[in-house]
Amino acid sequence: MCLITSVLICSELLLRSRLVPEFALLVETNKKLISVIGSKHISDHWKELALPKYAFRASASSLMLLVHLFAVLSPILLFLILDHFVDLGLEKLILELEAIAASTLIAIVYLRFRRR
């Protein structure tokens, strides 16, 4: 039961987080970085000036992705910590293939119905 609860809370946090837009920003930054590096119309001098800015932007975006991902997965981590003190059976359940498949299916169904 706590696995289902944590999966539903994680799914709701995923909907409300900026994880997907942050990932899109990282992809866009990397595309721009690749286009600047591969461009023959931009001199090496301007590439040297632009690359650190794109690298900083990509690093900041990657760090924000990590923060958002940790925030989305925090309910499962909190239930695992609680399971250490009170035997909820989550630690054994979370490693079973059937439980992983069921929780993934629950999350997909919840997200599909929630987005409508």
Q: What mean pLDDT is reported for the chain?
A: 90
- Sketch the domain layout of the chain as residue ranges: 44-90
At 27, which helix (H) or strand (E)? helix 19-38
pTM equals 0.75
Which tokens go with 55? 């690298």
Please say whether the beta carbons of 100 and 7 come within 8 A.
no
Query: For residue 94, what pLDDT band results from cuts at 50, 70 and 90?
Result: confident
d(CA 7, CA 92): 16
d(CA 28, CA 5): 34
Among 75-79, 89-93, 100-104, 112-116, the minimum mean pLDDT is found in 89-93
